[in-house]
Amino acid sequence: MKYEPVIGLEIHTELKTKTKMFCASKNDPDERHPNVNICPICTGQPGTLPVINKEAVNHVIKVGLALESKIAEITKWDRKNYFYPDLPKGYQISQYDEPICLGGKLKIPNSDREIRITRVHLEEDTGRLIHFGHIGHSLVDFNRAGVPLMELVTEPDFHSGEEASAFAQELQLILRYLGVSDANMEKGQLRVEANISIRPPISKLPACAKALAGRQAPSSILGTKVEVKNLNSFKAVRDAVDYEIKRQSELLDEGKKIAQETRGWNETKGQTISQRGKEQSHDYRYFPEPDLPPLRIDFGIVEEIKAAMPELPSQKRTRFKNNYGLQDDQTNILVNNEKLANYFENVVSEFMNWDKEGLDKDSLLAPELDASPHFIEKEKQLIINLSANYLLSDFLGLLNESSAEVSDIKITAEDFAEWVCLIHRNVITSRAAKDVLKEMWATGKDPSQVIREKDLVRVEDLGEIEKAAEKIIKESQAAVLDYKKGKEASLQFLVGQVMKETRGKANPETVSDILKKLLK
Ligand SMILES: [Zn+2]
């Protein structure tokens, strides 16, 4: 590669707390009425004093622990001064040089790439302007003003748009697992900005510059930094970063200079567009917040939070691969959908605990377990794989079709486990199983009941299958002739017809064998 991209991310997250960052106003992202959740503090009235929200601080400590950051013993608040109509105080309370979390790392899933975290700090969100261009004025809603906002800054460790997007997705998952934010990008709860520059590959730099090519390198070595904002989807993150790398490379190729500026992403055009240059950039005149003393973070509280940490996505991935022998793609779908993952684990724990005493007497599985009660123990891995396969194909298909949540569905983990075992034990064919599952989905009935009602137990009587095959041969003379002329596809057609005749109860291989015998 002619140039080496240097990419870092800054990610803002609205935290999920009962109240705002420095006052008792409600933090409700779903409030539709403007200026309802406001008070003298978050609207910046003179004489009011901020009070730190402990829940928000604890959330950031949680994130820091998940990213293996160093949690500060003392953290401090600073004023970031600028004027904008959605900022009632004329400044934001933020953290400048003593953030809550320093350092840390996040591994990009299914790769060996690890991104270093620079810092994670806490600040407050601004209000929101609503523009009515057609009537020539704008309105302001302060419901969001003062909502706790976490900012995470990475080292410039990314090589591509794909990596930046994968990082943001993994962070979103971690925030959701930790329960600190819904991190919904469409709702603006997770906002990504990318800093992008390009430079000649390190191998081509002079020795003295190589030593500096890490974090403290001057801009002459790092290249000119361009900041891209308005990245409100993972696709936008990926596409905007890749677009910038290409745009900057082309400028350098033409011998032109790259301007230090802020650009926005235009989704429709698939381009970044200049928003403001260096000369228009803000001087925030940071200074320590006089109304808030530095905050000492109690070591005991950090230990308490550490002890209550949930399993993280990366830990779940490793456990699912090791304990259940799942493939990467299966693991990923489950880890990305925590409720589905829990459902899967409930299904698996059914197998683990099953014995024939624990089973419903009416279950069609009971005679099977009577015949060979240790079969399940021996075949555990096979059944787990079968469960994962059916869960991620047929079950997930039905889930997506009905756009339901896992918590809404009528099939219990026990019934799903039984259904999988009935397939595994050949009580029903996989063809008939699909109909059984649909009926279970619609009615919540257990599989044995559905199979009895619909008379779907697998046909083992060869005579019965032969009778059905003879009937189909008589009715499908054209296909029979084609088959006799050597057209193999016609046999598949005939198999399908016999399957239909037996309502999916026959084993397709058996049907095929019988048809071949009859048509000799
Ligand atoms: Zn307030």
pLDDT tens per residue across span 246-280? 999 999 999 888 999 999 999 899 999 998 876 66
CA of 34 to the centre of ligand 1 (A): 13
Average pLDDT estimate for 37-60? 96
Angle between helices 328-336 and 338-353 (to 10 degrees): 110
Task: Name the average pLDDT for the chain.
Answer: 89
CA of 11 to the centre of ligand 1 (A): 24
Q: Contact 263/243 with Cβ under 8 angstroms? A: no
Angle between helices 338-353 and 413-424 (to 10 degrees): 60
Given a cut of 60, whether residue 215 has pLDDT beyond it is no
122 pLDDT band, cuts 50/70/90, is very high
CA of 186 to the centre of ligand 1 (A): 25
CA of 213 to the centre of ligand 1 (A): 45
Q: What is the DSSP letter of 110?
A: T
- List of residues 6+ apart from 420 with CB closer than 8 A: 347, 383, 386, 387, 390
Rounded Cα–Cα distance for residues 211 and 15 (Å): 39
Given a cut of 70, whether residue 470 has pLDDT beyond it is yes
- The 3-class secondary structure across 413-461, one letter per residue, is HHHHHHHHHHHHCCCCCHHHHHHHHHHHHHHCCCHHHHHHHCCCCCCCC
- List of residues 6+ apart from 318 with CB closer than 8 A: none
CA of 81 to the centre of ligand 1 (A): 19
Q: From start to end of 1-66, where are the E strands?
A: 4-14
Residue with tokens 């619609």: 442
Given a cut of 70, whether residue 207 has pLDDT beyond it is no
Task: Round to the nearest angstrom and report the end-to-end CA distance of the chain.
Answer: 64
CA of 10 to the centre of ligand 1 (A): 26
Cα 260 from chain centre: 33
Rounded Cα–Cα distance for residues 22 and 52 (Å): 5
Reading the block at residue 100, the tokens are: 């809550």
Given a cut of 90, whether residue 148 has pLDDT beyond it is yes
Rounded Cα–Cα distance for residues 441 and 323 (Å): 28
CA of 233 to the centre of ligand 1 (A): 30
Comparing 181-190, 203-212, 389-398, the range with the smallest average pLDDT is 203-212
**SS3 call for 51:** coil
Q: Contact 92/44 with Cβ under 8 angstroms? A: no
Higher pLDDT, 314 or 494: 314
106 pLDDT band, cuts 50/70/90, is very high
CA of 124 to the centre of ligand 1 (A): 11
At 17-33, the pLDDT tens digits run 999 999 999 999 999 99
- List of residues 6+ apart from 218 with CB closer than 8 A: 212
Rounded Cα–Cα distance for residues 166 and 313 (Å): 13
What is the share, in percent, of the chain residues with pLDDT greater than 70? 92
One-letter identity of residue 430: S
Taking the model in full, what pTM does it have?
A: 0.83
CA of 187 to the centre of ligand 1 (A): 21
CA of 143 to the centre of ligand 1 (A): 8
What is the pLDDT at residue 373? 61
CA of 472 to the centre of ligand 1 (A): 76
Q: Report the relative pairing of strands 91-94 and 4-14 from DSSP bridges.
A: unpaired
DSSP element (H, E) containing 94: strand 91-94
293 pLDDT band, cuts 50/70/90, is very high
CA of 37 to the centre of ligand 1 (A): 7
Rounded to 10 degrees, what is the CA torsion of 356, 360, 362, 368? -30
Q: How many Cα atoms within 13 Å fall on the side-chain side of residue 448?
A: 15
CA of 88 to the centre of ligand 1 (A): 12
Q: Contact 462/470 with Cβ under 8 angstroms? A: no
Rounded Cα–Cα distance for residues 184 and 304 (Å): 28
Q: Contact 345/326 with Cβ under 8 angstroms? A: no
What is the share, in percent, of the chain residues with pLDDT greater than 90? 61
CA of 338 to the centre of ligand 1 (A): 34
Higher pLDDT, 515 or 99: 99
180 pLDDT band, cuts 50/70/90, is very high
In our burial notation (b when 16+ CB lie closer than 10 A, e otherwise), range 34-64 reads: eeebbbebbbeeeeeebebbeebbbbbbbbb
Q: Which of 416, 417, 433 is nearest to 507 (CA)?
A: 433
What is the pLDDT at residue 511? 84
Angle between helices 488-501 and 462-475 (to 10 degrees): 120
At 419-433, the pLDDT tens digits run 998 888 888 888 888
356 pLDDT band, cuts 50/70/90, is low
222 pLDDT band, cuts 50/70/90, is low
CA of 292 to the centre of ligand 1 (A): 16
Rounded Cα–Cα distance for residues 365 and 417 (Å): 11
Rounded Cα–Cα distance for residues 94 and 39 (Å): 20
CA of 23 to the centre of ligand 1 (A): 5
CA of 75 to the centre of ligand 1 (A): 23
CA of 145 to the centre of ligand 1 (A): 8
Average pLDDT estimate for 374-394? 84
